[in-house]
Structure 1
Amino acid sequence: MEQFKKDIQLGLSNVPKTLPSKYFYNKKGDKLFQEIMSMPEYYLTNAEFEIFSQKTKELIHLLNLDKERHFELIELGAGDGVKTIELLKELITQGFNFSYLPVDISANALAGLKEKLHIVLPTLDVRTKQGDYFEVLAGIKETKKPKVILFLGSNIGNMLDDKAKSFIYQLGKNVLPDDKLLLGVDLVKPKEVVLPAYNDKQGITKAFNLNLLDRINEELGADFNLDEFDHQPEYTEEEGIAKSFLVSKIHQVVTIKSMGKVFAFKAGEKIHTEISRKYNDAILNNIIKETDFKLKEKLTDTKGYFADYLLVRK
């Protein structure tokens, strides 16, 4: 709670104002994001699901795993695991010896995933890990077992390039040579495809963004009036970064009781809440060039909207 308070105070004191996207994910936020992933406009889920469901054997072949040696399949930000289940099923069918370690900051998401997997894949060895990615990886690095890390759903796209470079570098420091990283990324494409994914007709994405203000109200005693804020996404193909903002409709003042702070908003003032970086080979190679990983292969969906890149630790 103290870290939440510090992050919110810092973000709303910034010029321009910001709010960390990691705080989208409370119980209500988790549910809304599941709805987002089911939206017809949100092509990312369907595109990556196509890769995992229709190119599963090809994916396993690219991973070049040894059936005789036990390995750990570690998924960072596992969520509901809907795509990964397709891979897990095929790995079991082909007789691979492995454990599945889903990692997530949300205990609620992990509990739901473990319950689902117990029903769908009762023989699977599942070891849920709640917490910070690098703390979890550091804790299991010493097992010396081969590791395949999944970082799917273009979650890395929530980082600007410098932060993504640091993230991939730190991943390399927490795994061993020849360990693998399967990185799911959204590819650069026209705004006519991208923008509707962040501004659906049903208003689910808007509700997801506004829920962050609602959470601040509930947990920190703020008085944000959600009716006086709107959701605004922005994207150009040239920049390749989708951005989400909450925009104050009027001049207003918000009090956060637990901080004893008052924050003023001008009419039209933006709060930057999230980015979603889009990639191509050149952008990704630039990000990994000073890390311990090298790019080996990639698989894309039939429309070329999404790619899963295989990186190997040097």
Structure 2
Amino acid sequence: MSTGAKNTVHGPAEIAHYLPPHYLESELRRDVLAGLTAEPKSLPPKWFYDDRGSKLFERIMELPEYYPTRAEREILERYAPDMAAASPAETLIELGSGSSSKTPRLISALQEEGRLQRYVAVDVSDGALLGAGDHLSETFPGLELSPVAADFERQLHVLPRNGHRMVAFLGGTIGNLEPEQRTALLEDIHDLLGPGGGSLLVGTDLIKPEEILVPAYDDSAGVTAEFNKNVLRVLNRELGADFDVDEFDHVAVWLPEKRRIEMRLRARKSMLVTLPGVDLQVLFAAGEELRTEISTKFSRDGIAVELEAAGFRVAGQWTDSQDRYAVTVAEAV
């Protein structure tokens, strides 16, 4: 990984670039080779999000069945002042910031506490960082904006280490990680902050009945199915693959023993898929499934246990009015 940043002047803030050249292309090839030769086959969910996938996810967030975005927004709108009071910060760092759409309420609350000076947005997409920066610079003209193009799973070491910081990890994204990945990331965030150096604010979806969980990932309008299949279109475009997208069915299942939803694509028939971009041929048996996302659900106590194991102490925890979702603030100790 590159250790020196290259700055691109565009709009009100400069992006500090830490990603190596052609990083996303090489990551896609690595993930495809690893995932499609594994048993069972899998791909990480980050490859849903090309322009089409991002627009589909925006539609998903507005669906009546998909509650997590609304629940998290409700919590932030209602309790952001309490979160800021629990851990006043000089710097807010948001991991996987995207459009930073949920951030203004938190920024406002931290500013009201009187200490916030800087907002650091961390994402792999220049476009998302620039768009968010343009909006936030107008909304918060006195706030120092520091967009960072980096992979938060591997490059936390490039982020600010001075002053009291709050690391925000929203959207329930932590649930997309396998348990060992969650442990490693939480420990890395603790190392970044250091004892007494700040806090982690994390959004997590809570365990609830299957009849609520599954429709959130398999809506009646079929938008999530199109979103899921979009990963095959990405591979067709980027790697010259020949997936017959219409011959895969969207599947969402609740696995209570693992406390998670899995999204999968199920082959309708036996197919041999060629991926020239990675010099690979992959056989799918009829009925074989490709896992494209996991979304772990947590209990309130379970969140605290994982945070405490990584060196944090819970300072506050808030849920929405229907107890579907939780936002937790934990201090690094």
Fold agreement, TM-score > 0.5:
yes
Do the aligned partners of 1:191 and 1:236 also contact (CA within 8 Å) in 2? no
The residue aligned with 1:306 is: 325
Do the aligned partners of 1:254 and 1:262 also contact (CA within 8 Å) in 2? yes
Are residues 151 and 268 of structure 1, via their aligned partners in 2, closer, same or farther at CA, if it must alter by over 3 Å? same
Do the aligned partners of 2:84 and 2:113 also contact (CA within 8 Å) in 1? no
| Percent identity (aligned) | 33
Determine helix, strand or coil for the equivalent of 1:18: coil
> Match for 1:253: what amino acid?
L
Give 1:38 shift. 2.2
Of residues 47, 50, 55, the one that matches 1:23 is: 47
> Match for 1:49: what amino acid?
R
Aligned: 1:281 with 2:300? yes
RMSD (Å), alpha carbons: 1.8
Do the aligned partners of 1:223 and 1:254 also contact (CA within 8 Å) in 2? yes
Q: How does 1:194-273 map to 2 (within 5 A)?
A: 194-237=213-256, 239-273=258-292
Do the aligned partners of 2:206 and 2:300 also contact (CA within 8 Å) in 1? no
Aligned: 1:42 with 2:78? no
Q: Which moved more, 1:79-88 or 1:117-126?
A: 117-126
Q: Distance in 2 between matches of 1:295 and 1:237?
A: 26
Aligned: 1:55 with 2:67? no
Of residues 137, 144, 164, the one that matches 1:118 is: 137
Give 1:85 shift. 1.3
Structure 2: gaps of 5 or more residues: 1-24
Q: Which moved more, 1:220-229 or 1:81-90?
A: 81-90
Determine helix, strand or coil for the equivalent of 1:258: helix
Give 1:95 shift. 4.0
Q: TM-score, normalised by structure 2?
A: 0.87
The residue aligned with 2:31 is: 7
Of residues 165, 168, 175, the one that matches 1:147 is: 165
Do the aligned partners of 1:229 and 1:249 also contact (CA within 8 Å) in 2? yes
Q: TM-score, normalised by structure 1?
A: 0.92
Q: How many matched pairs?
A: 308
Q: Deviations over 1:1-33 (max 9, x none)?
A: 233212202211111111122222222222222
Are residues 296 and 45 of structure 1, via their aligned partners in 2, closer, same or farther at CA, if it must alter by over 3 Å? same
> Match for 2:285: what amino acid?
K
Q: Which moved more, 1:98-107 or 1:122-131?
A: 122-131
> Match for 2:193: what amino acid?
V
Give 1:249 shift. 1.1
Determine helix, strand or coil for the equivalent of 1:55: helix
Give 1:299 shift. 0.8
Q: Deviations over 1:104-157 (max 9, x none)?
A: 122222222112223333333211111111555312344x21110001111100
Are residues 145 and 94 of structure 1, via their aligned partners in 2, closer, same or farther at CA, if it must alter by over 3 Å? closer
The residue aligned with 1:161 is: 179
Q: Distance in 2 between matches of 1:2 and 1:87?
A: 35
Do the aligned partners of 2:83 and 2:316 also contact (CA within 8 Å) in 1? no
Do the aligned partners of 2:241 and 2:273 also contact (CA within 8 Å) in 1? yes
Structure 1: gaps of 5 or more residues: none
> Match for 1:119: what amino acid?
E
The residue aligned with 2:206 is: 187
Q: Distance in 1 between matches of 2:72 and 2:202?
A: 11
Q: Distance in 2 between matches of 1:33 and 1:104?
A: 17
Do the aligned partners of 2:71 and 2:320 also contact (CA within 8 Å) in 1? yes
